[in-house]
Structure 1
Amino acid sequence: MTMLGYLLLGIVSMLARQVPTSEMAWGAGILVALFLLQNLHSLPNRGGDRPRYWIWTLSMQGLLTYIPFLILKDSWVGMPGYFAGSLLLFLRGKVSWLSASAVAISMFFIEQHLGSDGFSAFYYACGVGTIGLSVFGLTRLGDLLVEVQAARAELARLAVARERDRVARDLHDLLGYSLSAITLKGELVYRLVNSHPERACEEISTMLAISRQALSDVRMVASSYRDMSLAAEIAATRAVLVSADIATVVTVDCGPLEDRVNTVLSTVLREGVSNLLRHSKAQNCVIEAILDKGVVRLRVENDGLNTSPSVTARRDGRGLDNLCTRLGELGGTLNAAAAEDGWFRLTALVPLSGAAA
């Protein structure tokens, strides 16, 4: 709007000074060309890059700013301030400021040459400099607004991506164990339903309890809030392993833990037991949770490691990556490796000082 007003001012100035029609048409055409060039130069969001032909368009703007003074003289208002602004936008470093200053100073001498007194010429030169700074500032402001909008869109995209990763991580870590346990119980019930119907009914009751817990886990994932108890998870895990005829040795000596530590270590336990049920033919399992020198150590070990290529290929590592992310947030570490004796060992360490930070 400012440039449009300046364009109209230039036309009014020529009309007021009764410029011949041919010269006024020529001057009005140049004003329109300057208007279009300045709009091109002031386009926001160039990302710091100048237009491809900026040297030519900037040179043309300079010529169209100064040449009409030779013909229209003091009837020509032109847009020297906008040319100074374009110099500030396109040139770099000190050169841009020196060039813009040169435009303002040149207008001082041009006005004096056209008959203006020193004060009027100085006033006009200051106006040119002010307009140049305004053009530069407003264009940069437009660039900043575009960048802010892009940053907000990127933040929104990242927030959606983080939430998607959280939901995927929670579903994998919390439901993997429950679904594996339900599958195990279902297979056990199938074997017992004819020979030991009473035992089968007991296992069905346990399976229903696990499925209800899985449903609760899904609701907790949706609300992004889930507190778990390591002691309760160890007890539930032991019951599942015993029902699967896996000899289980449990050692718990870590005392009460903070909610975050409880939840993360419970998730580690679930993932470890889920992998045990899905990827091994375990007959023995050791679960240990110990507090030693301010560090909680959770260890899950099992024998019967299945190293066949088909099983190995199905392990995508996502579960362990999720655990590393969760433990890393508490300053903890995870180590998972198969030993030469056929046992698989999963060890999580969480410093209580890091969890409290």
Structure 2
Amino acid sequence: MAFFGVAVGYLLEAHLSPAGFTAGIVTLLIVYGLQLAHSFGYLSPRLSRRRYWTFGLQVLLSYLPFLTFAEAWLAAPGVLAGSALLLLPARWKWPTFAAIVASSSLLVLESGTGRGSLWYGTVATTLTGLVVFGLSELTRLVHEAHRTRAELTHMAVEAERLRFSRDLHDLLGMSLTTIAFKCELARRLPPSKHARLQQELTEILETTQRAFIDVRAVSQTYRAMSLATEVETVFATLKNMGVHAEFRGSAGPLPSDIETTLATVLREAVTNMLRHSQVGTCVVRLHREQGAVRLMVANDGLDDRPPAAVGNARPGTGLDNLRDRIEAVDGRLTAEVTDGKWFSVTAVVPLPAKTAVTRHRLLRPVHPCEAEIHGSATVA
């Protein structure tokens, strides 16, 4: 609007006839309308796609009217220089800008205003083009920043929703499976087994309370888990379900994020095992190897379904969740079927060269009679 006002001021000083003044105003409106389309292309996508045609039209309207309006039209090349910087390819924009500035200098000389105005006209055209380009580019960047911020907000909300869904699945899977198993067992107990029924109901209550703790933990951004505690929980659950379980190996102290990830892998692998197989034996192996820690969970009793169906084939659950968690700590997860009836999940996570480790207790034996889990521990 300011540049348009300057151009109108030049027309008023030229003392044109009413028809000439009207023609000048209409031409100026077209020129500055084209400039708006060039500066804010997102407001008019159709014109933006034809930017070279509109730029050519602006070139004509910036120079041809000079034949009629003379010095009253000296302000037009300035906005044209801004359009050149906005529209043309990188290798052409600055040469074209320089040519427009040079041409405005020639127009000043041709208008007869004197050589004293040459320097002023050249600087004015240069600054006008740079201001038009700078404000237009700034507006585009601000618009893009707002759009990017909206996209990042949407992505953050979506990521949080996926985290919430994944944590619910991974953390509550074993608890809910255990509750379902024990409820079914309690329902089938005869009335004479009152003591056993009380025991099962007590364990159901404890498992439910643990599930409530997991639900509260899901609402937090990060939940640290102890691998040692998870091993004991898994072994206790398998013992109650009549599954023969073996633990072999030791990993020592681990970084908190890696220990939490491996504890989650162990829990989800056992949950999938209980849901999708007629398991009789479960083997868990944990050891360090060349700057990495390896966790393997294997079980027999694989049913006749295809391997892809094991561990929930739906995206976002089961093995897909575990794979995402392992890849988040630069590890890898593999699943395979061996000997027809054995299914194994293996997670390998690299260990940082120097990092702080958690102060979780080391893996303790499942039975008090054993001093430490090194080599092998078995529960039946």
Q: Do both proteins adopt the same fold according to a TM-score greater than 0.5, normalized to the shorter chain?
A: yes
The alpha-carbon distance between structure 1 residues 354 and 178, as it changes in their structure 2 partners (threshold 3 A), is farther
Match of 2:38 among 36, 41, 45: 41
Q: In the TM superposition, what is the alpha-carbon distance from 1:219 to its structure 2 partner?
A: 0.7
Asked if the contact 2:307–2:336 (Cα under 8 Å) also holds between the matched residues in 1, the reply is no
Deviates more, 1:317-326 or 1:27-36: 317-326
Deviates more, 1:93-102 or 1:313-322: 313-322
Q: Name the CA distance, whole Å, in 2 between partners of 1:29 and 1:328.
A: 63
Give 3-state SS (helix, strand or coil) of 1:225's partner. coil
Q: In the TM superposition, what is the alpha-carbon distance from 1:129 to its structure 2 partner?
A: 1.7
Structural mapping, 1:73-112, within 5 Å:
73-112=70-109
Q: Name the CA distance, whole Å, in 2 between partners of 1:75 and 1:343.
A: 90
Asked if the contact 1:323–1:334 (Cα under 8 Å) also holds between the matched residues in 2, the reply is yes
| Counterpart residue number, 1:145 | 142
| Counterpart residue number, 1:330 | 329
Matched, 1:228 2:225: yes
| Counterpart residue number, 1:319 | 318
Asked if the contact 1:45–1:146 (Cα under 8 Å) also holds between the matched residues in 2, the reply is no
Give 3-state SS (helix, strand or coil) of 2:312's partner. coil
| Counterpart residue number, 1:174 | 171
Q: Which has the higher contact order (CA 8 A, sep 6+)?
A: 2
Q: In the TM superposition, what is the alpha-carbon distance from 1:220 to its structure 2 partner?
A: 0.4
Q: In the TM superposition, what is the alpha-carbon distance from 1:18 to its structure 2 partner?
A: 2.3
Asked if the contact 1:44–1:142 (Cα under 8 Å) also holds between the matched residues in 2, the reply is no
May I ask how many residue pairs the two structures share in their alignment?
A: 354
The alpha-carbon distance between structure 1 residues 295 and 17, as it changes in their structure 2 partners (threshold 3 A), is closer
Q: Percent same amino acid at aligned positions?
A: 36
Q: Which runs of 5+ in 1 are unaligned?
A: none
Asked if the contact 2:225–2:259 (Cα under 8 Å) also holds between the matched residues in 1, the reply is yes
| Counterpart residue number, 1:239 | 236
Q: Report runs of 4+ in structure 1 exceeding 6 Å deviation.
A: 46-50
Give 3-state SS (helix, strand or coil) of 2:352's partner. helix
Asked if the contact 2:243–2:280 (Cα under 8 Å) also holds between the matched residues in 1, the reply is yes
Q: Name the CA distance, whole Å, in 2 between partners of 1:255 and 1:149.
A: 48
Q: Name the CA distance, whole Å, in 2 between partners of 1:68 and 1:32.
A: 13
Residues 147-175 of structure 1: CA deviation (Å, up to 9, x unaligned): 22222222222212221221121111111
Q: Name the CA distance, whole Å, in 2 between partners of 1:92 and 1:17.
A: 37
Q: In the TM superposition, what is the alpha-carbon distance from 1:185 to its structure 2 partner?
A: 1.1
Structure with greater proportional helix content: 1
| Counterpart residue number, 2:374 | none
| Counterpart residue number, 1:350 | 349
The alpha-carbon distance between structure 1 residues 334 and 356, as it changes in their structure 2 partners (threshold 3 A), is farther
Asked if the contact 1:330–1:354 (Cα under 8 Å) also holds between the matched residues in 2, the reply is no
Q: Name the CA distance, whole Å, in 2 between partners of 1:264 and 1:50.
A: 53
Give 3-state SS (helix, strand or coil) of 2:334's partner. strand
| Counterpart residue number, 1:19 | 16
Asked if the contact 1:46–1:143 (Cα under 8 Å) also holds between the matched residues in 2, the reply is no
Q: In the TM superposition, what is the alpha-carbon distance from 1:222 to its structure 2 partner?
A: 0.6
Structural mapping, 1:293-308, within 5 Å:
294-308=291-305
RMSD: 2.7
Q: In the TM superposition, what is the alpha-carbon distance from 1:215 to its structure 2 partner?
A: 1.0
Q: Name the CA distance, whole Å, in 2 between partners of 1:319 and 1:263.
A: 17
Q: In the TM superposition, what is the alpha-carbon distance from 1:47 to its structure 2 partner?
A: 12
The alpha-carbon distance between structure 1 residues 261 and 65, as it changes in their structure 2 partners (threshold 3 A), is closer
Give 3-state SS (helix, strand or coil) of 1:188's partner. helix
Structure 2: which amino acid aligns with 1:88? L
Residues 285-342 of structure 1: CA deviation (Å, up to 9, x unaligned): 2233334565433332222111246994883163212212222233333232221152
Match of 1:126 among 102, 123, 128: 123
| Counterpart residue number, 2:361 | none
TM-score (norm 2): 0.84
Asked if the contact 1:181–1:240 (Cα under 8 Å) also holds between the matched residues in 2, the reply is yes
Give 3-state SS (helix, strand or coil) of 1:13's partner. helix
Q: In the TM superposition, what is the alpha-carbon distance from 1:117 to its structure 2 partner?
A: 1.8
TM-score (norm 1): 0.89
The alpha-carbon distance between structure 1 residues 320 and 111, as it changes in their structure 2 partners (threshold 3 A), is same
Q: In the TM superposition, what is the alpha-carbon distance from 1:186 to its structure 2 partner?
A: 1.1
Q: Which runs of 5+ in 2 are unaligned?
A: 357-380
